[in-house]
């Protein structure tokens, strides 16, 4: 337990340091963003460096829910059930932040916060699916039944993850395509320039560390809750 607490503390410190570095790079290291006409763009465009890593972490969270749900059904282990629950809760937070940062970026880029286009719509569906997953867990009192039904839902609901990720490649979308190509001939422009690429990489690493830290703390809290529940039963 002592070693685990020290590991979690070290994770939290490393995460805070990386997040500070990531924010510092956005504020002081990035060059001014300019449009094709040479006009300096509003600094709100820099929220992209948060938006993309947050989206990656949301997808990663729900991948863990999917894997943990499969393992729960195959092994009937409370540890896998706790992992799935914890990852779902963390993922819902990231999924909400994806919509929030995406709306801010859309307002700065296109002049509106929301439009019913494929990526935004499927991202909202993704959030609602995993909110429903958490609501299902709250609605079932019997632990074994809750774990089993939640695992089935966690597996079935995973279809919303690739649907969201591939939406801008499968359907015509106003959402920018950073990498790869779409079925409608669009292709990702990527990021040009070492400073932009390095800043994005540091932000991805920082948010990955944040994800790991949040998941570790959430799993430990769930384990402590189970221990307390067992003592009073």
CA distance 21 to 18: 5
Candidates 57, 171, 66; CA nearest to 120 is 171
Q: Which residues contact 39 (CB under 8 A, 6 or more apart)?
A: none
Q: Return the bridge partners of 187, or none.
A: 181
For the entire predicted model, the pTM comes to: 0.86
Q: How many whole angstroms separate alpha carbon 171 and alpha carbon 73?
A: 34
Q: What are phi and psi of 185, to 5 degrees?
A: 90, -5
| The pLDDT of residue 130 | 98
Residue indicated by tokens 């460096």 = 49
Domain boundaries, the chain: 1-29, 47-168
CA-to-CA distance for 191 and 203, rounded, in angstroms?
Answer: 14
Q: What is the pLDDT of residue 46?
A: 84
Whether 81 and 147 have beta carbons less than 8 Å apart is answered as yes
Distance CA 48, CA 126 (A): 20
The span from the CA of 20 to the CA of 217, in Å, is 20
Residue pLDDT, tens place only, 18-62: 999 999 998 888 876 655 445 555 566 788 899 999 999 999 999
- As a whole number of angstroms, the distance between CA 164 and CA 158 comes to 10
What is the chain's mean pLDDT, rounded? Answer: 86
CA 93 to CA 105: how far, in whole Å? 18
- Find out whether 55 and 48 touch, Cβ atoms under 8 Å: no
* SS3 (DSSP) at 1: coil
pLDDT tens string 141-199: 898 999 999 999 999 999 999 999 988 777 666 665 555 444 444 444 556 678 888 99
Residue 169 and residue 183: Cα distance in Å, rounded? 6
Highest mean pLDDT among 102-111, 127-136, 219-228: 127-136
Listed residue (139, 7, 161) closest to 69, CA to CA: 161
Q: Which residues is 57 bridged to in the sheet?
A: none
> With contact defined as beta carbons under 8 Å apart, do 116 and 93 qualify?
no
């Amino acid at each position: 337990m002592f070693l685990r607490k020290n590991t979690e503390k070290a994770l939290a410190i490393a995460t805070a340091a990386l997040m500070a570095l990531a924010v510092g790079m956005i504020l002081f290291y990035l060059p001014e963003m300019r449009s094709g006409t040479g006009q300096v763009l509003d600094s709100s465009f820099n929220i992209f460096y948060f938006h993309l890593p947050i989206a990656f972490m949301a997808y990663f969270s729900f991948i863990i829910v999917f894997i943990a749900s499969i393992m729960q059904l195959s092994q009937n282990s409370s540890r896998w059930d706790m992992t799935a629950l914890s990852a779902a809760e963390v993922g819902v937070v990231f999924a909400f932040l994806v919509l929030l940062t995406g709306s801010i970026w859309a307002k700065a880029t296109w002049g509106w916060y929301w439009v019913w286009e494929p990526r935004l719509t499927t991202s909202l569906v993704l959030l609602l699916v995993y909110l429903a997953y958490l609501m299902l867990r709250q609605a079932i009192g019997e632990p074994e039944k809750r774990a089993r039904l939640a695992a089935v839902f966690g597996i079935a609901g995973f279809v919303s993850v690739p649907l969201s990720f591939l939406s801008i490649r499968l359907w015509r979308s106003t959402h920018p395509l950073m990498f790869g190509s779409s079925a409608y001939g669009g292709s990702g422009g990527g990021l040009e320039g070492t400073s932009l690429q390095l800043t994005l990489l540091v932000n991805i690493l920082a948010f990955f560390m944040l994800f790991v830290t949040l998941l570790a703390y959430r799993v430990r809290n769930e384990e402590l809750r189970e221990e307390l529940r067992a003592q009073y039963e």
